[in-house]
Amino acid sequence: MSNPESSEHGAIFDVAAVEAEMRQEDAYQRDGHTARTLVRAEDLRLVLIVMKAGARIAEHQASDTAVIQALSGHVQLRLTSTIADLPSGRLIVLERGLRHDVEALAESSFLLTLGWHARPRGPS
């Protein structure tokens, strides 16, 4: 597995190739989904997630604003008071702290973009 890229000089990804590689990983075969952080910057996280049809990511919440953009397939998010359908090409913006789960209705991939506040560092 590769380390997240720095965006200092621009970062270019062949998303289809990364996705194909991820579908060969043990976690994908065992759990039905896997994730890879593509970019880890001081103020941003970009994560590619691939899921088998029928796979589910249990309810959770992000501590920062999040954007989920469906790249392929069809995922569905269960939110507190509604269900959000995300077929390929659709995206949703989630406010921080919003509880949700994710289910793949078909073999799917999506990008998760997280705004990221600089975390205070301990004493040096």
CATH number, position 77? 2.60.120.10
- Site of tokens 């008071």: 81
Domains held by the chain: number: 1
Note whether residue 3 is domain-resident. no
Note whether residue 90 is domain-resident. yes
Note whether residue 85 is domain-resident. yes
pLDDT of residue 113: 95
pTM of the model: 0.85
Note whether residue 44 is domain-resident. yes
Per-residue pLDDT tens, the chain, 124 aa: give them: 456 655 566 789 999 999 999 999 999 999 999 999 999 888 889 999 999 999 999 998 888 889 999 999 999 999 988 999 999 999 999 988 889 999 999 999 999 999 866 555 555 4
Q: What angle do CA 43, 77, 30 make, to 5 degrees?
A: 85
Note whether residue 124 is domain-resident. no
pLDDT of residue 42: 85
Note whether residue 53 is domain-resident. yes
pLDDT of residue 61: 86
Note whether residue 18 is domain-resident. no
pLDDT of residue 1: 44
Q: Among candidates 67, 83, 66, 85, which has minimal Cα distance to 75?
A: 85
pLDDT of residue 6: 58
Rounded to whole angstroms, how far apart are CA atoms 41 and 24?
A: 27
Note whether residue 51 is domain-resident. yes
Range of the domain at 77: 32-115
